[in-house]
Amino acid sequence: MKEAWLKQPNGPWVERFWPNPELERDGGARPMAVDLGRHLLLHEPPLLKSRRQLTLSQARELWRNRVKAGWKRVEPQW
């Protein structure tokens, strides 16, 4: 999985899914990071609320659940 972004329906939150080789490996699984953030004001840095460390399979499952809940794929937000 390469970097990909989802936006919350009718809300401000965006999630960035990205491979992060700096994270600890979990039994050889490909480490992924998922950042949750949002824009506060135009031309201001985004508010990064959290970062989660997941395996690739966990990240794919989270992606599927978000899409089922109505989240939409978007272009990079920051």
pTM for the model: 0.84
pLDDT of res. 27: 60
Query: What residues contact 12, with CB distance under 8 A and at least 6 apart?
Result: 38, 39
Q: Distance between alpha carbon 38 and the CA centroid of its chain, in Å?
A: 11
Cβ 69 vs Cβ 63: under 8 Å: no
pLDDT of res. 49: 95
Ranges under pLDDT 70 in the chain: 1, 23-29
- The DSSP secondary-structure symbol of 27 reads T
pLDDT of res. 78: 85
pLDDT of res. 37: 96
Strands lying side by side in the sheet with 14-19: 47-55, 31-38, 14-19, 4-7, 72-74
